[in-house]
Amino acid sequence: MVNMMPKPAASMQLPSDQNASGRTLGAEEIQLLSEAINSGTLTSTKGTFVKALERDFAELLGIKHAYACASGSAAVHVAIAAIDPEPGDEIITTSVTDMGALTPILYQGAIPVFADVDPTTWNVTAETIEQCISDRTKAIIVTHLFGNPCNMTEIMALAEARGIPVIEDTAQSFLATHNQQPVGAIGAIGCFSLQQGKHITTGEGGLVVTNDDALARRMYLYINKAWGYGDPKPDHYFLALNYRMTELQGAVACAQLTKLRGVVNKRRRLANRLTSLIRDLAGITPPQQDTRNAHVFWKYCLMVDSEVIPDGAVGLAKWLKENRGIFSAPRYIQKPAFRCAVFQDQRTFGSSRFPFTLARPEAVNYDEAKFPGTFQGLEHVLVLPWNESYTEEHVAYIAQSLKDAVAALSAA
């Protein structure tokens, strides 16, 4: 029915987080970067920029310790290594997240136990986590997906009652809050990413935070090959990697950090605007948020009703791309994380299948019936790219495109 489609509006190019159009990189970053280069000291063990970043970030979150590291994946690895699971211990995580939040569990010899998610927020909940707890549970990792916090009050109550530490994966949720508290500073450890597409970026990079002095010590050591810098008799105290951030990244991050509050406020304001424009549109539901949460809109996610829109999120994405040049992501990560070969086929170290060889059968049972929220959530999600560089016109263009898409598709 191609000839019945309305003519595309004068197409607009949306700013992208993959290049300068949608990034806040500029004179401030160049200034600090050239200072770093001129200093001739590019390692954080001797330089000043990474240390300044760590101090400023801790202050911003109101937390005692922050350490920079090589990536968000490294940040999660550092957090798990600090918790120090025994081989075969279980770490509860989510079935909808970035792979960088999952593989560190295996590298530390622990078993990821996937919790189901709420299909309306794509986040784990206290209820879905509780179903996964066993006497081998060593930690819980929650991902605040798309910038929207998990319901931490209930999750912390569950975890604290059992003495289980909570690691917060805050890669997508800089400055998001639950009950006025910044996420990342609620659980035992928070993990952030500075990868290209996050709220602020150094290309690759990460940060870990904690209020716990003993965990902080282990986190610092894990980033630094467990070498006891400054100790009277330093040694390599345990198995660890070099996960340091360079001064080049540190300099850029210091400048980026000064822009973070503005980035978050802008994304939130623009998202509220889009929500107000599409609130009454049949067949799509704007992002849901608990009244205790402040969402920071890493992405803007819709739920698409396939009863109203044929082919649901996939059909809507196709229409938006073909008719308006808007690139969105139906299904977000395509399939639940546990359906990836690394978990499904237990591809790890050589042919050993370690650490899966130590797993309780139930912990690695990925039967679809255990994950109704995950399958439903991925079926109806449409992830729209979101950016602080959008103007009112860009938002109006997205809203109008959605209206036109729904009209065209639901009439078909």
Ligand X SMILES: *Cc1c(COP(=O)(O)O)cnc(C)c1O
Which residue in 14, 17, 53, 73 binds ligand X (CB under 6 A)?
Answer: 73
Pairwise CA distance, residues 381 & 54, whole Å: 36
Within 8 A by CB and 6+ apart from 82, the residues are 189, 210, 215, 218, 219, 222
Q: How far is CA 351 from the centre of its chain?
A: 31
Q: Does 101 bind ligand X (CB under 6 A)?
A: yes
Q: Does 172 bind ligand X (CB under 6 A)?
A: yes
Phi, psi for 2 (deg, rounded to 5): -55, -40
- How many of the chain's residues bind ligand X (CB under 6 A)? 15
74, 112, 118, 167, 283 from 94: Cα distances, Å: 18, 9, 11, 12, 27
Q: Does 171 bind ligand X (CB under 6 A)?
A: yes
Q: Which is nearer to ligand X, 100 or 184 (CB)?
A: 100
Pairwise CA distance, residues 401 & 404, whole Å: 5
To 10 degrees, what angle do helices 247-257 and 49-61 make?
30
- Rounded least distance, CB 72 to ligand X, Å: 2
Which residue in 195, 246, 293, 374 binds ligand X (CB under 6 A)?
Answer: 195
Cα–Cα–Cα angle for 367, 169, 374, nearest 5°?
25
Which residue in 89, 98, 168, 247 binds ligand X (CB under 6 A)?
Answer: 98
Q: Which stretch binds ligand X (CB under 6 A): 35-43, 67-75, 267-275, 281-289?
A: 67-75
Beta pairing, strands 166-169 & 137-143: parallel
Which residue in 103, 108, 148, 193 binds ligand X (CB under 6 A)?
Answer: 193
- Rounded least distance, CB 122 to ligand X, Å: 11
Q: Does 71 bind ligand X (CB under 6 A)?
A: yes
Judge contact between 396 and 404, C-beta under 8 A: no
- Rounded least distance, CB 70 to ligand X, Å: 8
Judge contact between 221 and 100, C-beta under 8 A: no
Q: Which is nearer to ligand X, 169 or 388 (CB)?
A: 169
Beta pairing, strands 293-294 & 177-178: antiparallel
70, 105, 222, 346 from 77: Cα distances, Å: 11, 7, 9, 19
Q: Which stretch binds ligand X (CB under 6 A): 93-101, 238-246, 247-255, 386-394?
A: 93-101
Q: Which of residues 331-370 bind ligand X (CB under 6 A)?
A: none
- Rounded least distance, CB 185 to ligand X, Å: 17
Q: Which is nearer to ligand X, 151 or 172 (CB)?
A: 172
Residue 364 carries which DSSP code? G
- Rounded least distance, CB 83 to ligand X, Å: 17
Q: Does 72 bind ligand X (CB under 6 A)?
A: yes
Q: Which of residues 263-282 bind ligand X (CB under 6 A)?
A: none
**Pattern 107-146, binding to ligand X, x per CB under 6 A?**
------------------------------------x---
The residue assigned the tokens 């008719």 is 323
- Rounded least distance, CB 38 to ligand X, Å: 28
Chain residues binding ligand X by CB under 6 A are 71-73, 97-98, 100-101, 143, 169, 171-172, 193, 195, 204, 206
